[in-house]
Amino acid sequence: MTEPLKIAVAGLGTVGAETVRLLAANDEMLARRSGRQMVVTAVSARDRNKERGIDLGNAAWFDDAVALASDADADVVLELIGGEDGIAKAVSEAALANGRDLVTANKALLARHGAALARQAEAAGRSLAYEAAVAGGIPIVKALREGLAANRIDRVAGILNGTCNYILSAMQTSRRDFTEVLAEAQEHGYAEADPSFDVDGVDAAHKLAILASLAFGYEVDFDGVYVEGIRNVSLRDIAYADELGYRIKLVATARRTPDGIEQRVHPCMVPLSAPLAHVDGVFNAVVAEGDFVGSTVYEGQGAGAGPTASAVVADLVDIAAGRRSPTFAIPATELEPMRRASMDRHRGRYYVRLTVRDQPGVIADVAAALRDEQVSMEAMIQREQAPDQHGAVQVVMTTHTTVEASMTRALDRIGSLDTVLETPRMIRIAAM
């Protein structure tokens, strides 16, 4: 057996502490699998005296994480601090600048600086490993980078945010609205006090941008991701989805189109026949389609200390065993700027719900607007219903495949009709 792998851990929050715990719990097995002992030689965290229930042995303590990344006696630095800039970025750059491999769980950092960090790592001949940054314990980074390496990838789509999936699942099963379920999720610790990062789709977009770079061979392009969160998903839409044979999920999709790569995160009507429809609660799942392999699906816990530590240590095993790969599947110097497909040119099917005045002629006006914009209606539901106190009834329809720009124009026209009483609600229907 060769020299031990010396590990410096920056950040001892839940993931950092669990990683230390895992390294101790499975140490013999890890040595057999990687060919080397793994030893934590240095740690850094904000509070030295906090009780974490882990044994740090003889690890050197650094108050300054950047000093740890630069000066610790270590082969690898684990960046488990988080945040897209500031100290996490400084730690990562310092680790690579000092010839160490870098393992990070930081999706925000990679979504912003992935291509630059990859170039720095590869120029230095070091690994930048980030299995933990996307979909927690699911080894999806390895699957896309190595397992499906023979394929031209055509689509990657996933449920990448456990908080949103928990909220949507709970709304669906208990028929309680967003606000109520969010409050419950916050109580249980499934949602942050400020939930916007999750429920507005930013976290899923970070992860999608990383997967898209890996799958399609372009620079990570977070700014190119179209993002819509789940705040506007209503119980009414969930009930109609049920009736139409769909589940509403926050789906992150990156797709190869003739115009370039489409990257989008938004609520989706997912047909019950699709695997993603059955991914509930805090689970994550990713569908990856390749030209030879066809469709493959990966599912598991997308967050939590155990699954995340599992992913961090898998990266350490690769490093210890000397297995290296280009950060984003091809050499970082060959990553070109993302070829963005405009969302206006997205083609798909749509669900639309209108709150309209209960009077003759309304549907004719709506149908005319759709016709004028070349949007073809597939089905319409207007059940016999008593109008509410404002004299309003609900009309729901689905369209055949159409272009986003046409749909947008049609919805603008429909929304401006006198007989349409609220802003039309639109949810894209997933093509799977």
**Which residues form the interface with a copy of itself (CB under 8 A)?**
18, 22, 25-26, 29-30, 32-35, 131, 137-139, 142-143, 146-152, 217, 275, 278, 285, 290-301, 304, 306-307, 309-314, 316-318, 321-326, 329-331, 334
CA distances from 175 to 179, 235, 372, 386 (A): 12, 7, 37, 21
Tell me if 206 sits within 8 A of 265, measured CB to CB: no
Closest CB to a copy of itself among 94 and 153? Answer: 153
Q: Read off φ and ψ for residue 221, nearest 5 degrees.
A: -135, 75
Compute the least distance from the CB of residue 249 to a copy of itself, in Å: 16
Compute the least distance from the CB of residue 40 to a copy of itself, in Å: 14
Residue 39 CA to residue 9 CA, distance in Å, equals 11
Residues 6 or more apart in contact with residue 278 via CB below 8 angstroms = 247, 272
- Which tokens in the block code for residue 226? 């179209």
Compute the least distance from the CB of residue 380 to a copy of itself, in Å: 30
Catalytic pick from 6, 107, 207, 249? 207
Cα–Cα nearest to 101, from 82, 129, 62 = 129
- Which tokens in the block code for residue 306? 């155990």
Q: Read off φ and ψ for residue 333, nearest 5 degrees.
A: -70, -20
- Which tokens in the block code for residue 27? 């140490």
Compute the least distance from the CB of residue 362 to a copy of itself, in Å: 40
By residue count, the chain amounts to 432
Residue in the block written with tokens 């994550």: 284
Q: Which residues pair with 294 in a beta bridge?
A: 290
Residue 301 CA to residue 380 CA, distance in Å, equals 37
Cα–Cα nearest to 137, from 10, 330, 283 = 283
Question: Within a 13 Å sphere around the CA of 190, how many CA atoms are in the beta-carbon half?
Answer: 22
Compute the least distance from the CB of residue 153 to a copy of itself, in Å: 10
Residue 157 CA to residue 133 CA, distance in Å, equals 16
Closest CB to a copy of itself among 26 and 186? Answer: 26
Closest CB to a copy of itself among 235 and 297? Answer: 297
Could you confirm whether 6 is annotated as catalytic?
Answer: no
How large is the C-alpha radius of gyration of the chain? Answer: 24
Compute the least distance from the CB of residue 409 to a copy of itself, in Å: 38
Closest CB to a copy of itself among 34 and 41? Answer: 34
Residues noted as catalytic: 207
